[in-house]
Amino acid sequence: MAPVTHPLFQPARLGPVEVRNRMVKAATFEGMARDGLVSDELIEFHRAHARGGVGLTTLAYVSVAPEGRTYRNQVWVRDEAMPGLARLADAVHTEGAAIAAQVGHAGWFANPRATGGPCLGPSRKFSPSALRFSRALNEPDLDRLLADFERSARMLVAAGFDALEVHLGHGYLLSQFLSPWTNKRRDAYGGDIERRAEFPRRAVRAVREGSLGRAAVTVKLNMTDGFRSGLQIDDAVVVARLLQEDGSVDAIQLTGGFTARTPMFLMRGDVPLKELAAAEPDRLRRLGMRLASPWILRGWPFGEAFFRPMARRFLQAVDVPLMLLGGITRLETMTSALDEGFGFVAMARALLHDRDLPNKLAAGSVTSSACDHNNRCIVTMEHGGTRCVLLDATQARSAQ
């Protein structure tokens, strides 16, 4: 057991805000924002995580524009969303935690059937989600998107959010600019990594401007896309250095994987193919999932803190605080990560399994999560809201 005097359990600075400890609830799409608005269920989801003891909980994937969503039930920032966002922030603060919003745009991976908007990306690309080719963003599009990032940041800060996490990972729009697989542009936004990073850097600076110095600005950055023709770690290190030079970020959360190519790279563990196919209501998409599964749903074996070896490269490259993510389950791993130089530890599945895990770790009643990484939690996203199926089974047995 780590002593409660260990930095893991002590207050820490994150830009202009203080969080009560260094444990972060990483963004996991909740599936609880009906019509793109905060629901009571979504508020209770994050209130419970705050009550469970995390220092910072993250509202997953808040789109800066209506056409940037991958699901209909995702929040997008607009006037109608403000009352619910404020209620959510207040609920988390009442429990003593801070709250972040993960802001981004899905680019060509967005689902026009959910948004009613166009399918846009850095370059023309066939989208398996939209089942159509995207249109390459032009200069007016890019200017509008930068304004959307800044406007969204201002509104989220006004709603009471303490941190803004800009999504530069997992194959969403800003990640698409960074990846040579999706960015084939020949203008100032395509080519070598400095050019491919130009628009993402401008977007992060827009969020920094919109934060008004009142909220921390962090990024979720891919270290690698997980396939040969995608973003590789050497280029990702360059991006981290450029962000540090810009002075635009207060922390970097390190991740990997590309949703349209290597979704399980960022999960590791079991691949719930049968459950995913059964849960897909669209017959054509269900067939496509089964046919493409050997390539898209390839599995990677789980190992605790599986991103840690790659993340160490960034410890040597930048001074910006780093958030370690990726299958962190044991207290020993969390404390050693901080001792090694990481500023925060971020968890997702471990906290879905037990929202009270931080309090239990601090009290010494447990030393690790009991999550078995079966990954069936991802099947629940659009079916009643993201939850741990192990808990569902336990509750069902208790009710008998």
Question: Structurally, how many domains does the chain consist of?
Answer: 1
Element holding 104 (H helix, E strand)? strand 98-104
Question: Would you say 251 and 344 are in contact if contact means Cβ atoms under 8 Å apart?
Answer: yes
**Does a structural domain hold residue 1?**
no
Among the listed residues 128, 124, 86, the one whose alpha carbon sits nearest the alpha carbon of residue 110? 128
**Does a structural domain hold residue 110?**
yes
**Does a structural domain hold residue 336?**
yes
- What is the CATH number for 105? 3.20.20.70
Digit-by-digit pLDDT tens for the chain (400 residues) are: 566 778 999 999 999 999 999 999 999 999 999 889 999 999 999 999 999 999 999 999 999 999 999 888 899 999 999 999 999 999 999 999 999 999 999 999 898 877 887 889 999 998 877 778 899 999 999 999 999 999 999 999 999 999 999 999 999 999 999 999 999 999 999 999 999 999 999 999 999 999 999 999 999 999 999 999 999 999 999 999 999 999 999 999 999 999 889 988 998 998 877 777 666 666 666 566 565 566 667 789 999 999 999 999 999 999 999 999 999 999 999 999 999 999 999 999 999 999 999 999 999 999 999 999 898 887 777 677 788 888 755 544 444 4
How far is Cα 228 from Cα 232, in angstroms, rounded to an integer? Answer: 8
**Does a structural domain hold residue 96?**
yes
Distances in Å between the Cα of 194 and the Cα atoms of 100, 136, 178, 259 are 28, 20, 9, 23
**Does a structural domain hold residue 2?**
no
Catalytic residue selected from 61, 71, 172, 189: 172
Q: Active site includes 61? A: no
- In the chain, which residue ranges form alpha helices assigned H by DSSP? 40-51, 82-94, 112-115, 139-158, 173-178, 193-196, 198-211, 233-246, 273-279, 283-296, 308-317, 331-340, 349-353, 357-363, 389-399
How far is Cα 312 from Cα 17, in angstroms, rounded to an integer? Answer: 26
**Does a structural domain hold residue 44?**
yes
Please give the residue range of the domain that contains residue 94.
Answer: 7-399
How far is Cα 279 from Cα 142, in angstroms, rounded to an integer? Answer: 35
Q: Is 61 helix (H, G, I), strand (E, B) or coil?
A: strand
Q: At 183, which amino acid appears?
A: N
**Does a structural domain hold residue 213?**
yes
How far is Cα 57 from Cα 24, in angstroms, rounded to an integer? Answer: 6
